[in-house]
Amino acid sequence: MLVLRSALTRVLASRTLAPQVCSSFATGPRQYDGTFYEFRTYYLKPSKMNEFLENFKKNAHLRTAHSELVGFWSVEFGGRMNKVFHIWKYDNFAHRTEVRKALAKDKEWQEQFLIPNLALIDKQESEITYLVPWCKIEKPPKEGVYELATFQMKPGGPALWGDAFKRAVHAHVNLGYTKLVGVFHTEYGALNRVHVLWWNESADSRAAGRHKSHEDPRVVAAVRESVNYLVSQQNMLLIPTSFSPLK
């Protein structure tokens, strides 16, 4: 009996001292800041682009009185034509809810902009994104053109592909081939999607920088590593409107 008791004690002790294995659903650096960015894309009816932009320019102050507009662009190349893209900043989801409620009660906004423009819009899309933890929005030094490059990554989140993607982005920036405005990771929309917003002086300078970067072995090596986690990619050339904060 004494031998059995001693053996049982040793077994229980070993179970008590065994390391505890905990699983985690975290897929990368946590987003502690509640600030997020809403990407909105409006597809306008043919021949209605100028009318929509003029109306927005005239009434933009009514909308920006409620929340911050980061940038507003018309899409020059990439995908469907007659398209505008804009980014709005919110402190958190409660803030966005408050803004939407306030807009619903804003008669001036409703009558001067929303109702007249509804007939001009064919389709709307919205995505909620966070800035990646290693990036903040950088304002370009002067007016130019923008490129929104969208990358659909393999499932697994930044824990899987974050470091490789970061090295690829920094390779382009650190070697002077383009200027980075921001890197955004989708929270609502297509998951495992990353948007990179670039700035260049012109479409031609963008093309020249891209061609040079493709011949730089340092960039090629960094991009090749990130491509292992890539499913698909697409891009758009964006022209800032006269009322866009980002020019």
Cβ(71)–Cβ(246) below 8 Å: yes
pLDDT of 239 higher than 90: yes
Mean pLDDT of 12-40: 57
pLDDT for residue 31:
57
Separation between Cα atoms, residue 175 and residue 30, nearest integer Å: 29
Torsion of CA 40, 71, 83, 50, to 10 degrees: 130
Give the DSSP H or E segment for 71: strand 68-77
pLDDT tens per residue across span 168-183 = 999 999 999 999 999 9
pLDDT of 23 higher than 70: no
pLDDT for residue 80:
87
Torsion of CA 150, 151, 155, 160, to 10 degrees: -120
Max avg pLDDT among 3-17, 18-32, 100-114: 100-114
Burial 145-180 (b: 16+ CB within 10 A, else e): bbbbbbbebeeebbebbbebbbebbebbeeeebbbb
Separation between Cα atoms, residue 230 and residue 162, nearest integer Å: 11
Separation between Cα atoms, residue 29 and residue 17, nearest integer Å: 30
pLDDT tens per residue across span 67-110 = 999 999 999 999 889 999 999 999 999 999 999 999 999 999 99
Mean pLDDT of 31-45: 89
pLDDT of 2 higher than 90: no
Compute the mean pLDDT over every residue in the chain, rounded to the nearest whole number: 87
14 — pLDDT class (breaks 50, 70, 90): very low
Mean pLDDT of 30-49: 88
7 — pLDDT class (breaks 50, 70, 90): very low
32 — pLDDT class (breaks 50, 70, 90): low
